[in-house]
Structures are given as C-alpha cells and as structure tokens.
Structure 1
Amino acid sequence: MATRSLAVQMERPHDYYYDPVYTVSGFGAAARNATGSGRVLRLGAVSGANRYKYFRTPAVTTLRTVPPEVLLSVEPVQMAVAPVIEPEPAKKTVATQSDFRESETQTDPYSPDYVLPADGSQPELLQLQELQWGRGLPAGVAEIEMIERARKRRAFEASLPVITDDPESWRRMMEMQQMEEMARREAEIQALQEQRLDIIRQALQDRDMETKFVNEQRMEELRDRTSVAAAVAADRTQRERIRELRKIAVARQRAARPAARDIIRDYADHASETYAPLRREGRRVDRDAAKYETAYLQDMKYQDVVALAESLPRRLTQVNIERPRLGKFASAADARKARTMQSHLDRAAELIR
C-alpha cells in the first residue's frame, strides 16, 4: 500500500511581509515590524468569517450538446378535431339503486290550485282566495261588507252597456258609480279619523289620569313631610315654652321674697323711697314741712354758728378711733394653722415615747 507523504515547509522570517495570505497569531514582534514597515496586518483577515472574500469562481466553459450546423427534425402537429355531439333522445331509461330511495315511491305531480268548470263561469268563492287566517279570517263585519261591495261591483259591471252602442249611458253610469265609491271612501276615511281621534282622546285621558295620580302622590308626600316638620316645630316650641314658663315662675318666686333693706344704698340713691316715698303706701311727701322752721338759720352769723357748735356734745363733734390690739399672729387663719401644726407635733411626740 502506497503511503502519502506530507511536506511541511518551515516559516520564513519575512513571510508576514511578502505572503499576502499570512496571518499572525498576535500583535507581537512580527506585528510591530509589519506596522513599522508601513503594512497593517489584521487578525482574521483571511480565516474565519472573511475567508469567503478570497475565493474565486472558476471560469468553466459551456459546451453545446448539439452543434449549430445540425438541424433536428420537427414532428408535425396534428390539429384537434371537435367531437360530434349526438342529439339527446327525448326519452331514456335510467336505473338507480340507493339505500335512501324506494323504487315504488311515486311523487305528486303538479296540480293547479283550482280548476274552472267547462262552461267558463267563475265561482264567487275565488274572490275570497286572498283572505287568510289572521288576515280576514274568521270573517267579521268589515269582510262581509267587502264581499257585498264586490257582489254589487260585479253586478254593476254586468249591467253596463257596450260603450260603442251607448257611450252617454255608459259615462253616466260610471260617474254615478265613481261618486258612490268616493262617498264610500270618504265615509271610511272619516270613520278611520274618528277611530284615530278616539284612540288619541283615550291616550290623552290616560296621560291626564297618570299625571293626576303622580301629582296626588307628590302632594301626599309633601303633605306628610310638612306635617312631620310642623309636628317637630310644635314639639320644639312647646319645650321652649315650658322652659320659659319655668324661668318666669322661678323669677316670680324670687321677686315675691322680701328683700333685706340696704340702708347705705337707700341713702346713696336719691331716687330711693327714703328721699321720695310712694304716696300709694300712705306716706306724705312734704305735707308737714311747715312745722320745721329753718328760716332762722339763714339770719345766723358766724359767731352764732361757732357758739352752736360748741354747745353740742363732744362725742358728736370729735371722732375717737382706737387702734386694734395686735396679737402674736397677723390673722386668725395663721393662728389656726399654728394650732394645727402644734397639735400634729404633740401627737408625733407621744408616738415617739
């Protein structure tokens, strides 16, 4: 078996400079030398994510399988021919078999709603085919009147002459019929209006009754609130009245008590009864002033006044004020405090013994 040898070439000193695909492992001396020489080496410039930038697509020549001078034969194209459609027969038999169908089943063929008699007359019942349950059935007074009007209408149309034979009679009869129809329509409109007015009148009456009921409820509620407020106010007024009456009674009792006479106030107040007694109490004011003669005092001289003053007793002209005796204590309260303290000391001394 042949062995394959692998030749490994040693790194040259300046491979980082001359080899365009050389990649350094770090910024060591080689990186510094490359930077100093003017070339900048970038880590991972060839390997890694930037490796595809150094690939080149090979220029492969395209070879033609057929030489240009060789012409191949072309198969002729056949035109499509439209198929002939045979006409479908009027009748055909088709057999079917299904679990959900019975061969004995016979469907109901189409049949008209009604069949007219052979003589060509139209029954009167056909005029009522538009009436349905809930819309005209069961028949009422309005439906019966409509049926009678339809009968009269058909009888009138049957009695009309041919317009070409007697146009005047035909026109006169049609005018009379139209006038009757207009009068009937006006009567129906008037009846509908009256019915509508009755409904409106009833609605207004119901509204008035409801409004009246609501107003009565409001008035009743207002009356209740007013009655409660009046009762509360009356109770409060009664309590205040009783309190004031009690105050008046107490004041009257106090006024009925005879007050002690204050002589100093009576003589200090010149409007008191001392100076102006009340006549209704039986006192006479200045009735006996004539018996007190004071006119001679106006003619007295100074010497007479001095002699009169010397004739008065000494106790009336001189005031003798004796100085109160001062005890050991300044006041009676101090004396009581001293006695209380002395009693406490005596008791403590007895307890110590």
Structure 2
Amino acid sequence: MDAEKMKVIEEPKTKVAEVQTIFRESEAQTNPYTPEYIVDKDNVPEVLSIASLRFGKGLPASMIEMELIENMREKRAFENALPPTSDEACFLLRRKLMEEQEVREWNKREEDIKRLQNERLNLLQSALVEREKETEEKHAQRTEEIRLKKTENKERALAKIQRKRIKVLRKMYKARKNVEIKGKKRDIISDYANFGSTVYAPITRDGLSLDKKANKYEVQPEALSSYQGIEELSRSLPNNVFMTNVSVQKFKFQFNNSLSRSENSHMAQLKKAQATIDTTLKQQQQKDQVQVVQSLINQIKMRPETPAYKEFKRNDLVINEGFKDRMEQNMKDDQKRRAIVLLQRLVRGRAIQNMMFEGKEKRLDLISELRA
C-alpha cells in the first residue's frame, strides 16, 4: 500500500501557468476609479477643488494646471482671511478687499486672453509663412517645368533647322556638280574699250608677266655704261656743281633776326631753364654716384681677425731638467690650436654654405626657368 502511494506521478505534457505582472497595455487603460464620498460642510478637503480634472482633460497636470491650482489656493486663502460681516466697518473692509481681488482677477483674465491671442496669432503667422513657402515652391517648380519645356522646344527647333540646312547644302552641292561650264566668245571691241580688261592689265595666273616687256622702256644712256663715259660727263659739268658751300651761321643769323622781342625773351627763358635742368641733373648724378659708392663700401664685409691665444704659443725651448715635460706641453698646445683653427674653418664654411643655400632658395624660380 505504501509502495502504491509512493508511486511517482508523471508530469502532464501540457499545463496552465498564471503570473501577475506590473506591465499593461495602453489599449486596456481606463479612467481611475473614484469611490463615492460624503463631504462635511465644516471641513471641505482641498483635493475636491480639482475634482473637475480628468484623465486627458487636465491630467497629467502641466504648468497651466499647476498655475490654476496655485491660483485656487490663493483664492481660498484669501476667502478664509476675509473679515466677517458682523459690523459695518468689517463689511466695508470686506467689500473693499473683494473689489481689489476682483480687479486682480480681471487683470489676470485679460493677461490670459492676450496670451492666448498671441499664441493664436503666432500659430496663424507660422501657418501663413508655411503656406507662402509652399506657394513659392510650387511657383518655382512650375517655372522650372516651363523653362525645361521651352528649352526642349528650342533644341528641337534648332535640330530641325540644322537638318534642313544640311539637306539644302547637299542639294546645292549636287546641283553645282551638274552645272555645265559653257564657253563664252570673246568680244574684242569691249575688251579694248574697257581699260580694266586683261588687254591693258593682264592677269599673271594666265601666264603673262607684267614686267615682261619692261626693258623696252628702260633709259640706259651710253655715258653711264662705262667709267670713261662717267669721267667725260664729269668734265663737261662746271665745278660749282660739285662744290657746295652752305653757311650755317648765315641761316642762324637770319633766323635770329626774324624773331620778335617776345620770341627772343622766350628763347632766353628756355636757355636759362635748360641750364638749370642740366645743373640739377649733373648734381643728382654726382650724388647718385656717391651713394652707390657708399653703398658698395657698406656692403663690403671684412673678415674678422683670427683670435690668437697667447697661452698656446710655444715657450722658448730651454734645455734644462724639465725639457721633456715642456715638449709634451707644447705638443698638447699645438694640437689644441690646430683643433680650434679647424673648428673656425668648419663654422665659416658652414655659414657660407647657408648663405649660398638661402640665395638658391630665393632664386629657385629663375634657376628652374634657366634649366628649362
């Protein structure tokens, strides 16, 4: 019996499992449940002042609802702080405070109305701007479509004209090939009557040279054909033909006498001005030469003197007991001096190399042009 109770129960192939979770679906959300309640007239809870708010209508609360709640709290505190209407003074004070509160409420309402109007105006303005943008985009698109259409029509018309032109040119070319060249009979009378014809002005391409018969009209006197003829011609001419005596002073004197007083004064002023200009130019040239020489002298860079180190000079060799020590010291001094001189040479050579490199870099374009 105990063995039967201890028999293992097999687990079914399928089973149902239930679980509780805090997650939900938005479609299953409903308005929160509000239980029924009884309000005590003497003690009204503050939460009932926002009982009109519902989910989707004020809840969850935004800044506007928060301001509304704060205003309700202030109004409730103000009503609780009002004096009672027991006597006339308290009544007048209560009336005055209520009037001031009413004025403040009206001012706040006006501000709220203005704020709402401004928001609506901003929305309207933004809507108008968007509409204008859409209209401009439509107009621009329409203009672009018209332009593309006109361009396509123009290209089509140009292509048609080009095809027509090629067709006409081909026809003209074929017509020229078929033209028969017919000879024309020469009219001798009209050729001789027209002085522009080939009779008077032959054409070179027809095989006639214009200077073919020019030697018939050349003047070649026999006296100029030989040296003896030239000598005879020179003997027959008088001597005054070969001798010319032109006096420049005579013409100069005549020119000066023909000048008037104002012209002579003008000539004197011109000579004076020319002399002043020549003197100034000469002084300027001398000054420029002095400046050039001075600049050349300033550009000359003297080589600095090589420093001499007295301690490196050899001492007089005196044969004494410390002769070997002195010889070793002198050899060391000579080695130091040679090392210093070598360093000086290296530094100066490097400086010259740097100067040459800078000059090469400055004139690199000119060197490239000369190499090209």
TM-score category of the 2 structures, normalised to the smaller one: 0.3 to 0.5
Normalised by the length of structure 1, the TM-score is 0.41
Decide which structure has the larger Cα Rg and report it: 1
Normalised by the length of structure 2, the TM-score is 0.39
**Which has more helix, going by share of residues?**
2
